[in-house]
Structures are given as structure tokens and as C-alpha cells.
């Protein structure tokens, strides 16, 4: 069944519609037909099973009839922001895709001291558009009720400041010790909390960045005795948080 994300105002009572880029995708790529069923998501935890009533090519809308409203809680009970040090090549695309599948609410590319990739404003905007499309595709594929935001890349110091209102702030670091401490922090996570996770680029964080993060209230934690790649570390933390909070 095809899955579309719409604004709440696109659903009214027993009627709904699809417009904009999704109209073109539904009408000209997927070629939906009257009588076909589709799923709409219009906000956190609310899904709508609909049937296609008409493909309006003049008004460029797919008109729908709402069959069922479902409150199916598929989002994690915590809000996780993944602050990812900009990696090389197309690794960011994989990171975004898997982060969305694992329940991240936001992904924020971060420019750290050891980042090889440097993006000017124009390139960053182009990349962000591509990354947001990947987030939407992954949200549809994994059955998310919301499309996680991919933010514009920001400097490390700005990212620390933005994450200041998070309840739990984690920064995996290869020189951190004490797996038991990592477990205790993860076990302390409670529903409704905001969590910020900082992941370094291929070269990792500089010691000065770790100190700045700790001064900003971050916990430097270990993920074990092995050094993980940048595209792996975030998945590990998100998986642990998902296992710890799912269903709470």
C-alpha cells in the first residue's frame, strides 16, 4: 500500500487530498486509480486509511475518502537528535536512511575540526534537499508517522549550543571507559525526554572538542573496546536507545 505524508489541513472529516509533488508522484508515477487504498500520515501517531475517489488532473489533486482513523504509536517515546560529524563521500545518505529507520527525530550534520568535507552555503542547501528526500523515503519505507528533519550543517560550537536543552547528551569517544556507566545512562532514559547524540567524523573528535562537550553537559561514553566507524557508531547508539525505550 502506498504511503503519503500530508499536512493536517489536508484531512477534513471523511475527506482528504494529496497535492504538490506527491500528487505528481501518485498520479503520474504510481498511477493510482479510483478505488485503490492508500495510507496517509498527518502527524505523530495518527494514520488514515483512505480510498482514492478521483484523480483530479485539472486541480492537480488526488481526492480521497477516509475509511479509518488509527492511532498506531510507532514513534519512540523519546526525541532523539543525531548530531553527525560530516563524513566523506555518500556516507551521510546511508546514515540518514538508517537513523530514520531506527527512530531518530532529527539529523543534524556537524562541521568538526577533523571533517574533510567542507560545504559552502549553496552546496549545503543542495545536499540538504537531497538528504531530506532520503529521510522522507526512509520514513515511508519504515512506516514512520513523521518525517524526521535533516537540518542544515552547522559548526560544532553551534551544535553544542543548540543541544543545550536536551535532557540527556551523549558523545561516544574511543578513549572513554566504563561500559557499566554507559549502561546506567541508557537505563535511566525515560519517556518524554529529549536526547542528543554527537558522533564524530572519520578522524573522530579532537580532545579539545570532547572537553568543550563535557563542559556543555555531555557525557563521554564508551561503546565497547572496538573502534567503530563513523557510520556505525550512530547506529549502535540509536539501536541501544530503541531497545531501551520501545514500548515504554
In the prediction, which pLDDT does 47 show? 86
pLDDT band at residue 143 using 50, 70 and 90 as cut-offs: confident
Has residue 63 got a pLDDT over 80? Answer: yes
φ, ψ of residue 25 in degrees (nearest 5): -65, -45
C-beta of residue 79 within 8 angstroms of C-beta of residue 105? yes
In the prediction, which pLDDT does 176 show? 87
Looking at residue 4, the DSSP 8-state letter turns out to be: E
**Per-residue pLDDT reduced to its tens digit, 144-183:** 888 999 999 999 999 999 999 999 999 999 888 889 999 9
C-beta of residue 2 within 8 angstroms of C-beta of residue 39? yes
In the prediction, which pLDDT does 113 show? 95
C-beta of residue 76 within 8 angstroms of C-beta of residue 103? yes
φ, ψ of residue 152 in degrees (nearest 5): -70, 145
Question: In the chain, pLDDT over 70 holds for what percent of residues?
Answer: 99
Tell me the C-alpha distance between 183 and 103, whole Å. Answer: 19
pLDDT band at residue 44 using 50, 70 and 90 as cut-offs: low
**Is the four-CA dihedral 31, 33, 37, 40 of positive or negative sign?**
positive
pLDDT band at residue 28 using 50, 70 and 90 as cut-offs: very high
In the prediction, which pLDDT does 195 show? 98
**Per-residue pLDDT reduced to its tens digit, 180-193:** 999 999 999 999 99
At residue 227, the 3 state secondary structure works out as: coil
Has residue 71 got a pLDDT over 80? Answer: no
Helix residue spans in 156-216 (DSSP H): 156-162, 179-187, 207-215
If you average pLDDT over residues 80-92, what whole number do you get? 95
In the prediction, which pLDDT does 145 show? 86
pLDDT band at residue 136 using 50, 70 and 90 as cut-offs: very high
CB atoms within 10 A of CB 228: 16
Cell numbers at 190, concatenated: 525515560
This prediction has a pTM of 0.85
* Domains annotated on the chain, with CATH: 2-71 (2.40.240.20), 79-245 (3.40.1280.10)
SS3 content of the chain, % helix, strand, coil (to 5): 35, 25, 35
In the prediction, which pLDDT does 74 show? 78
In the prediction, which pLDDT does 108 show? 98
C-beta of residue 168 within 8 angstroms of C-beta of residue 52? no
DSSP-derived secondary structure for 51-67: EEEEEETTTTEEEEEEE
Find the angle CA(203)-CA(230)-CA(233) to the nearest 5 degrees: 130
In the prediction, which pLDDT does 72 show? 66
CB atoms within 10 A of CB 4: 23
Has residue 35 got a pLDDT over 90? Answer: yes
Q: Which H or E element spans position 99?
A: helix 91-101
Looking at residue 45, the DSSP 8-state letter turns out to be: T
Closest by CA position to 170, among listed 223, 206, 207 = 223
Amino acid at each position: 500500500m502506498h504511503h503519503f505524508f500530508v499536512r493536517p489541513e489536508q484531512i477534513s472529516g471523511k475527506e482528504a487530498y494529496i497535492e504538490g509533488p506527491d500528487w505528481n508522484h501518485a498520479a503520474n508515477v504510481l498511477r493510482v486509480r479510483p478505488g485503490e487504498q492508500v495510507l496517509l500520515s498527518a502527524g505523530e501517531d495518527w494514520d488514515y486509511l483512505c480510498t482514492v475517489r478521483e484523480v483530479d488532473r485539472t486541480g492537480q489533486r488526488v481526492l480521497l475518502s477516509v475509511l479509518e482513523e488509527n492511532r498506531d504509536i510507532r514513534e519512540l517515546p523519546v526525541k532523539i537528535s543525531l548530531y553527525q560529524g560530516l563524513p566523506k563521500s555518500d556516507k551521510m545518505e546511508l546514515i540518514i536512511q538508517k537513523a530514520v529507520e531506527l527512530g531518530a527525530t532529527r539529523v543534524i550534520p556537524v562541521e568538526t575540526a577533523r571533517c574533510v568535507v567542507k560545504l559552502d552555503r549553496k552546496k549545503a542547501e543542495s545536499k540538504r534537499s537531497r538528504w531530506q528526500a532520503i529521510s522522507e523515503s526512509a520514513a515511508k519505507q519504515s512506516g514512520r508517522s513523521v518525517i524526521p528533519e535533516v537540518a542544515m550543517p552547522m559548526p560544532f560550537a553551534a551544535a553544542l549550543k543548540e543541544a543545550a536543552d536536551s535532557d540527556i547528551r551523549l558523545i561516544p569517544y574511543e578513549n572513554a571507559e566504563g561500559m557499566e556507566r554507559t549502561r546506567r545512562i541508557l537505563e535511566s532514559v525515560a519517556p518524554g525526554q529529549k536526547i542528543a547524540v554527537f558522533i564524530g567524523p572519520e578522524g573522530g573528535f579532537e580532545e579539545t572538542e570532547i572537553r568543550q562537550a563535557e563542559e556543555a553537559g555531555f557525557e563521554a561514553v564508551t561503546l565497547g573496546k572496538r573502534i567503530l566507524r563513523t557510520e556505525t557508531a550512530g547506529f549502535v547508539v540509536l539501536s541501544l536507545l530503541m531497545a531501551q525505550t520501545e514500548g515504554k
